[in-house]
Structure 1
Amino acid sequence: MFVTEAFAQDGETTAHQPADAAASAHGETIHADRAHEPGFPPFNPEFYPSQLLWLAITFGVFYWLLKTVIMPRIGGILENRRDRIALDLEAAERMRSDADEAKAAYEQELAEARSRAHSIAHEAKESAREDAEAERKRLDGELDEKLDAAQARIAEVKRSALSEVDGIARDVTDTILREVASIEASQDEIAGAVAEAGR
């Protein structure tokens, strides 16, 4: 609340007046003071030139700060980020090319390993087949030898048995002729008869 000079003097002269008179004097002073108030300073045309001056100064300082301090820093940050992104992209490209080369080398080694494995398996199969064939031939040879030996032995046994059969037949024939038929025959006649019967 503003206290003016007039109100202060009025207050002294009306200190002994009744309350109504003091209140009415006070109200008149407030209305008089309000009538003399200039209003809100920014809207007062009297201050327009100084406001425009300060606006120009503030804008100039802000523009100078923006141009010399803020924008170079922002530009530097953007440049650093651009360089970092470029370096990251180069590194990623190098890593991708390295990965492609490693993949190609791996696929080539895998193909060579498969080829070697196929060759080894084929050689092992051929070797096993050759070994099996050699073992079969060896066993066939052994079996043929054993068969030939067995046939020779059988023939020998057969010859031996036949020679014994002839002797037994001669003896039996001689005994039958002498004891059953009471016929006396020579050994040559009996051997000839047995040989004739065996044919």
Structure 2
Amino acid sequence: MFAGTTMLFAVAAEAAEEAAQSGGLPQLNPHTFETQLFWLAVTFLGLFFVMAKIALPRIGEVIEERQDRIKRDLDAAARLKGETDKALAEYEKALADARTNASGIAKETREKLAAETEAERHRVDEQIAVKLREADTRIAATKSKAVSAIGDIATDTARAVVEKLIGENVPADDVKKVLRPVAGE
């Protein structure tokens, strides 16, 4: 290959000398067409050999490697998408379970609080009923005292009125006997 390159330089130098003598473009000189065609064929075959044996196989390997890498990446992406879908489904299931569990806990808490509230209401109702009975007892006692006090007051008042009217002092027992049928005893 190096020999061909050296020869190519020699021919180019010779063509340059000849062009300088002829005064025209060397590639258009019809006397050098055979040598130009020969070197064109040699150069073409050399480049063809280099391309066919060195460059194209490397390009093919690179293209194949890229295709393999793309295929691996697509497979990995599909696998990761499957894992993501599975994880998402598990997450949604866990979320649904958590919601169900939370609603169960909330329902249980509501029922517990309702039971506690009901028990507290019954306890307070019982306390109120006891206090009402005590109050009724006190009211009845106070009423009884008031009624007996009314009787005494009525007796005193009647004695005072009778004494003013007739001018005599009437005994309290007599006034009570007279007032008893009026009081309804």
Alignment correspondent of 2:89: 104
**Structure 2 letter corresponding to 1:82:** Q
In the alignment, which of 109, 114, 139 is matched to residue 154 of structure 1? Answer: 139
Contact 1:174 1:190 in 2 (8 A): yes
CA–CA distance in 2 between the matches of 1:197 and 1:66? 145
**Structure 2 letter corresponding to 1:164:** A
**Structure 1 letter corresponding to 2:155:** R
Secondary structure in 2 matching 1:154: helix
**Structure 1 letter corresponding to 2:116:** D
Q: TM-score, normalised by structure 1?
A: 0.69
Give per-residue Cα distances to partners, 1:87-119, cap 9 Å, x unaligned: 211221122112212211221121112212222
Alignment correspondent of 1:116: 101
Alignment correspondent of 2:60: 75
Larger Rg, first or second structure (1 or 2): 1
Q: 1:93 to 1:183 in 2, by over 3 A?
A: same
CA–CA distance in 2 between the matches of 1:104 and 1:96? 12
Give per-residue Cα distances to partners, 1:118-172, cap 9 Å, x unaligned: 2222222222222222222222211111111111111011112222332333344
Contact 1:38 1:44 in 2 (8 A): no
Report the number of matched residues.
Answer: 164
Residue pairs, 1:153-192, within 5 angstroms:
153-178=138-163, 180-182=165-167, 188-192=173-177
Q: 1:184 to 1:56 in 2, by over 3 A?
A: closer
Q: Percent identity?
A: 36
Structure 2: tracts of 5 or more residues without a match: 1-21
In the alignment, which of 105, 108, 124 is matched to residue 139 of structure 1? Answer: 124
Q: 1:42 to 1:184 in 2, by over 3 A?
A: closer
CA RMSD across the alignment: 2.8
Secondary structure in 2 matching 1:196: helix
Which range moved further: 48-57 or 136-145? 48-57
**Structure 1 letter corresponding to 2:41:** A
Which range moved further: 176-185 or 115-124? 176-185
Alignment correspondent of 1:66: 51
Shift of 1:194: 1.4
Shift of 1:42: 4.2
Shift of 1:195: 0.9
Secondary structure in 1 matching 2:166: coil
CA–CA distance in 2 between the matches of 1:44 and 1:191? 172
Shift of 1:65: 0.5
Alignment correspondent of 2:78: 93
Which range moved further: 151-160 or 171-180? 171-180
CA–CA distance in 1 between the matches of 2:42 and 2:70? 40
Structure 1: tracts of 5 or more residues without a match: 1-36
Alignment correspondent of 1:55: 40
Q: TM-score, normalised by structure 2?
A: 0.73
Shift of 1:61: 1.2
